[in-house]
Amino acid sequence: MNPFEPVVKPQNTIVISPKYFKEEKVVLPSDARVLKEVVFVYQSVSGDIKEKRVEINKRIDFHRPIYITHSAKKFPLRELHFLNLFTMYIKDKTILIRTKDRLLRKFFLIKPFRIVLDFKRKADFLTIKKTLKNSIVKKVVVGNHKGYYRVVIYFDTKYMYKIKQISEGIKIELK
């Protein structure tokens, strides 16, 4: 018997991702008079089940439904220039790095969450740091190394992401 082989073989291996939440209408019972609190139970990025309690403690009219809405925050288009190396465009949860330089490697680091991209080019410059406000990208640091330069993108939280090589350069989509 192989100790690395699972003892139980899963029957259903299809992962069903829930739909994106937009709105929910809640009708309270006729005896409701004071809304004490709202409890949100959610699954975190790590898969843990957590809860967030919001105290309300206000009078309500049970005849009027309560609506919970979730709308995506829109961030303005940001355009960042890094010498003659590349231009970075950030819009909502999409990042485009426009460059002709070849991507050598890519990886991420957790604390703080950041994506690291190495591009092939012999260049000579001092480290560049740009901090952003009102964006999912908090900071971008570009450093010079022997035969390549490194782009480190810091985010406001952990994200699932997809990196694609496109004709204009690199496209990063966050989820």
User: DSSP characters for 45-58?
Assistant: TTS-EEEEEEEEEE
- Cα 76 to Cα 73, 133, 152, distances in angstroms: 10, 10, 21
Whether the Cβ atoms of residue 170 and residue 153 lie closer than 8 Å to each other: no
Residues 116-166 pLDDT 10s: 999 999 999 999 999 999 899 999 999 999 999 999 999 999 999 999 999
* pLDDT tens sequence across 154-166: 999 999 999 999 9
Higher pLDDT, 4 or 73: 73
What is the pLDDT confidence band of residue 67, given thresholds at 50, 70 and 90? very high
Q: Model confidence at 72, in pLDDT bands (50, 70, 90)? A: confident
Q: What span, in angstroms and rounded, lies between the C-alpha atoms of 94 and 137?
A: 10
DSSP 3: T
Kindly report whether the global pTM for this prediction surpasses the value 0.75.
Answer: no
Residue 168 to residue 37: CA distance in whole angstroms: 50
* Average pLDDT, rounded, for the chain: 91
Instruction: Report d(CA 152, CA 143) in Å as an integer.
Output: 8
Determine the longest span between alpha carbons in the chain, in angstroms. 73
Where does the pLDDT of residue 17 fall: very low under 50, low under 70, confident under 90, or very high at 90 and above?
A: confident
Q: How confident is the model at residue 74 (pLDDT cuts 50, 70, 90)?
A: confident
